[in-house]
Amino acid sequence: MSRKTRIALLGAGRVGAAMALDLAADPGLEVVVADRDERALAPLAARGLAVRKADLGGPGLDEILAACDLAVGAVPGYLGFATARRVIEAGRGLVDISFFPEDAFALDELARERGVTALVDCGVAPGLSNLLLGAVAAQMERVERFTCYVGGLPEHPQPPWEYKAPFSPVDVLEEYTRPARYVRGGRIVTEPALAGLEWREFPGIGSLEAFLTDGLRSLLTTMPQIPEMRELTLRYPGHVAKVQLLRDSGFLSSEALEVSGTRVRPVDLALRLLLPHWEFAPGEPDLTVFEVIVEGVEKGGRVRRVFFFLDRFDAATGTLSMARTTGYTGTAIVRLVARGLFHRPGIHPPEHLATAPGCVDFVLGELAARGIRLAERRESLPPAATHSSSR
């Protein structure tokens, strides 16, 4: 009888908790969940999961890593890079969903030296979006355009924000302040956060506003041949203008100010004040809208391939949709690594999985088994315009 793969899940937030419960149900895995917040760990312990209270930024992490085969990073973005480095230094495999701002490829040499397979950005977007692009790019002669629309939203929006945060509010504010990189005309362009506002209709939802966010990440490095690439975040109408007002008024600044003799970062105060408004109540439903559009040349003709899902809160388990779609993409990748379907030392974003036999189908199958099913639509496009001159 083979030994179970020992999993250390680092972070017991909404997404981390959903991942922990999903992985613990796998008979081939042995899971321990670590977090510094006892309140986050208590519901998991009540469900029979092994938990460890530990400051993941401190020495307690070393002991946890020593007892595992594979670590799963589900910490807030600001902790993600340092945590990933420590996992790799310990010689442990890694599947990470944290949206850290640093370049993950900066750890590639270290991972290769330690013989560690480290998969990063393994959520829904970035994550599933990368996987789909990698798969389609392998089937097309040429990819001309990639666009991803994604948003986690309350099913019943309420004023004034028309929004609640289905994952770490700290990371939500990162989306609103981190400059957005995209590709236009074959060149990387950087715009301020919240730029590129447009409107898009979605079946079952209606009109949503979309704005550029820095979600392409590894694709800027791994897919340099694609001349047009964008990732846009979705919100209900009116939300962006309110966030822009906060940002432009300085409330999202990380530069400390002195207030009555105390140094305060405006973004910390904003987060403290926004959190009660953005917190989901127990049982309050959310939804996730996801659309990936890839245009290019396939079998000699120009085509557009569109992948779409609309996922909703799971009332039976009390699991938010964003935790499902992000977390279950991550747990699918954990399983394929644990089963030896992908083993390559170094840093690997999900698009690399598309080059390994069976990995794409495995992930999509795992998602479908959990009720997250992608619909695909193909459309023929007219030939690209040609320009000729007469003499």
Q: Which amino acid is at 139?
A: Q
Helix/strand/coil for 189:
strand
Phi first, then psi: give them for residue 333, nearest 5 degrees: -70, -35
State the Cα–Cα distance between residues 237 and 327, nearest whole angstrom: 27
Residue partners of 320: CB distance under 8 A and separation at least 6: 14, 18, 152, 166, 280, 286, 313
**pTM of the full predicted structure?**
0.94
Q: Is the pLDDT of residue 167 over 90?
A: no
Which domains can be identified in the chain, with CATH numbers?
Answer: 5-123+323-372 (3.40.50.720), 128-239+278-312 (3.30.360.10)
Summary mean pLDDT of the chain? 94
- DSSP track, 257-291: EEETTEEE-HHHHHHHHHHHHHPPPTT--EEEEEE
Torsion of CA 333, 341, 66, 2, to 10 degrees: 120
Token couple for 96:
């990470």
State the Cα–Cα distance between residues 102 and 147, nearest whole angstrom: 23
Residue partners of 245: CB distance under 8 A and separation at least 6: none
pLDDT per residue over 256-298, tens digit each?
Answer: 999 999 999 999 999 999 988 999 999 999 999 999 999 999 9
pLDDT per residue over 45-89, tens digit each?
Answer: 999 999 999 999 888 999 999 999 999 999 988 899 999 999 999
Task: Over range 24-35, report the average pLDDT.
Answer: 97
